[in-house]
Structure 1
């Protein structure tokens, strides 16, 4: 089969022909119809976060069951499924309380390992879904509702990440929230899911006014936009983003959902929160935090970091999609052949055109 591989001592992607995996007794072999692409994997590869190399990349995949192990029940050959990529111990306090992304053994198929402890499941299932076939344990395979196409099925994980962020914001009905980096994959997912979490109004923040207008157009909620290109040139040092948000919402916003990987957009949006507000961050921002702890205390602000979704979040997304209450077909904006993975990745990294969710077809 064809697979996109990463190798030790190489920062390039390698499209190779390798053997089709053999399913073990409790495994499901999935013929991949669509696989999600996330450019962050290249940064993790540079950081040495992949705990097993060589490996097949890709933590998002959907397709049909090609074969099952002799101990597998509930899956028939030909069934439509998606693969949940989160590998954990399944028994610690975090795994037992819907917080398995905090498990010491947490890793992702086709992606990174997040600690330096023994990870037997990652050792066994490190190969991911940027391939013609992917092998997964049966407990990480979910039936895909008939009304959900494979491209959306491959992006359930990102949608579930947005669900987790919205949950952690702890929103009251009618809340006004800021979505930072609203024109990206996580931002657009949050816009689609916000109505299901009590949100009443959206403030969408990003660099480009034109791209923000495109995102506002897909929102089911009232949505206003703040483009940093329209702010004064010195906005980063003078609090221009904070002032603009407070012009739109004089009493301050209830929450900020932040997906920005660098810069001061996070702290300036946080400074526009009302008393008791929450900021949820899922951007891995390394810029020094610019809010004083004393100010957080006086305003009773909460800062919550989260790095992934849980299985419960993913199942909730599948339920919303399966019922027809949620439709995100328009979020998948770009499709490439598996062999064009380098072209797809370059397009996502340069962002010369709007790209919300991108998938590859083997």
Structure 2
């Protein structure tokens, strides 16, 4: 028996406990990954603190969502992956047998859960302990379908952010963003928002408008592409719809991406939907926003503007994104990596909980 170092969530709101666990063995269709990096985003702090309506794994449990590392061993029935492959490990586990999975909508799996984190589905809560080691571990085991190969040009610290970068990527695809499009990002200075700007620029958006509050971070977002990106503080401009329409020749934007942080107000979302041009789309990903989104019946009928939700990404989308990052089409050089050893996991948690902004990539290195 070999022991490995891990960090466990024992009680929500209390410090994680560093200890040991038995090194896992991959099943026939699993891969064993030596973890190089486990990414932290502000919602990591929220979940660990119990600020989530979703089910948690049985506690104490080894915590941690996004993982990048190197495959050390593969199960007997794994084809196409081998020891030594560098991978991003998708933490969204799906059943592959429910109606949604069978029709290709694994993002809507009726039994889905995030390994080492939580489950947004009622049914998924009963499977949270199926793969008990989260990313705050020297090793994780995952189904072979959850290992996305990484080229050497993508470093593993960057890859440990791919869960939330991938979330924005899938959402922009759902909003039909493409070359020549215009995009409005609500919550632009956060983890999802900054990623959305980088992705939209890579997808060929000609204008990206960003709404946030922190003026310093807003200016940093603008500097990502000063000729194509404009930002505004919601605390300084009251008519945000007028501001957006003025910058799009009064047409409105092709897409509005709503990625507010926990505690955001849906009233702002309802307002900004009016900044979308006829035929455009709003895509919502902010799981912690309070309130309802509603539109007048005739607005929907006459303008064909409506809101869609986007929770995560599928295997094809993450591979697509990895190819674009590797080619330099999506430029992630804005990320500033801040690393912590496993022994300082609680310092990392407190730091990311203070919401340092979407340019900082907080990573625990087990």
- The TM-score, its normalising length taken from structure 1, stands at 0.89
Match of 1:210 in 2: 216
Q: Among 286, 299, 305, which residue is 1:301 paired with? A: 305
Q: Which is further off, 177-186 or 332-341?
A: 332-341
Moved over 6 A (4+): none
CA deviation vs aligned residue, 1:287-341 (integer Å, no higher than 9, x gap):
2336434433333211001111111111111111233433313324422222222
**Is 1:281 matched with 2:284?**
yes
Q: Which is further off, 210-219 or 189-198?
A: 189-198
Match of 1:260 in 2: 260
- Kindly state the Cα deviation for residue 94 of structure 1 after the two structures are TM-superposed: 2.4
| Structure 1 runs not aligned, ≥5 long | none
Task: Kindly indicate whether the alpha-carbon contact (under 8 Å) linking 2:54 and 2:121 is maintained by their aligned counterparts in 1.
Answer: no
Q: Among 182, 186, 206, which residue is 1:176 paired with? A: 182
- Kindly state the Cα deviation for residue 13 of structure 1 after the two structures are TM-superposed: 2.2
**Is 1:271 matched with 2:270?**
no
* d(CA) in 2 for partners of 1:260, 1:24: 39
* d(CA) in 2 for partners of 1:354, 1:308: 18
Superposed counterparts of 1:134-145, under 5 Å:
134-145=140-151
CA distance 1:67–1:44, shift in 2 (3 Å) = same
CA deviation vs aligned residue, 1:90-143 (integer Å, no higher than 9, x gap):
133422444211110111111212222267764321421121111112221122
Q: Which is further off, 139-148 or 349-358?
A: 349-358
CA deviation vs aligned residue, 1:244-302 (integer Å, no higher than 9, x gap):
22333322112100101412332222121222221100002222336434433333211
CA distance 1:120–1:287, shift in 2 (3 Å) = closer
* d(CA) in 2 for partners of 1:38, 1:49: 19
CA distance 1:340–1:297, shift in 2 (3 Å) = farther
* d(CA) in 2 for partners of 1:151, 1:174: 32
Task: Kindly indicate whether the alpha-carbon contact (under 8 Å) linking 1:277 and 1:301 is maintained by their aligned counterparts in 2.
Answer: yes
| Structure 2 runs not aligned, ≥5 long | none
Q: Among 59, 62, 66, which residue is 1:60 paired with? A: 66
Q: Which is further off, 334-343 or 158-167?
A: 334-343
CA distance 1:60–1:301, shift in 2 (3 Å) = same
CA deviation vs aligned residue, 1:182-217 (integer Å, no higher than 9, x gap):
111111111111134442110011102221111122
CA distance 1:351–1:302, shift in 2 (3 Å) = same
Match of 1:242 in 2: 241
**Is 1:34 matched with 2:26?**
no
CA distance 1:64–1:87, shift in 2 (3 Å) = same
Superposed counterparts of 1:1-362, under 5 Å:
1-7=4-10, 11-45=14-48, 46=50, 47=53, 49-117=55-123, 122-171=128-177, 173-219=179-225, 222-231=228-237, 235=238, 240-249=239-248, 250-261=250-261, 262-263=264-265, 264-284=267-287, 285-289=289-293, 291-351=295-355, 355-362=359-366
Task: Kindly indicate whether the alpha-carbon contact (under 8 Å) linking 1:226 and 1:245 is maintained by their aligned counterparts in 2.
Answer: no
CA deviation vs aligned residue, 1:74-101 (integer Å, no higher than 9, x gap):
3333332221111111133422444211
Paired residues in the alignment total 355
- The TM-score, its normalising length taken from structure 2, stands at 0.88
* d(CA) in 1 for partners of 2:309, 2:226: 27
CA distance 1:265–1:15, shift in 2 (3 Å) = farther
- Kindly state the Cα deviation for residue 172 of structure 1 after the two structures are TM-superposed: 5.8
SS of residue paired to 1:146: coil
The Cα RMSD (Å) is 2.4
CA deviation vs aligned residue, 1:198-245 (integer Å, no higher than 9, x gap):
4211001110222111112224860111112322xxx3xxxx222322
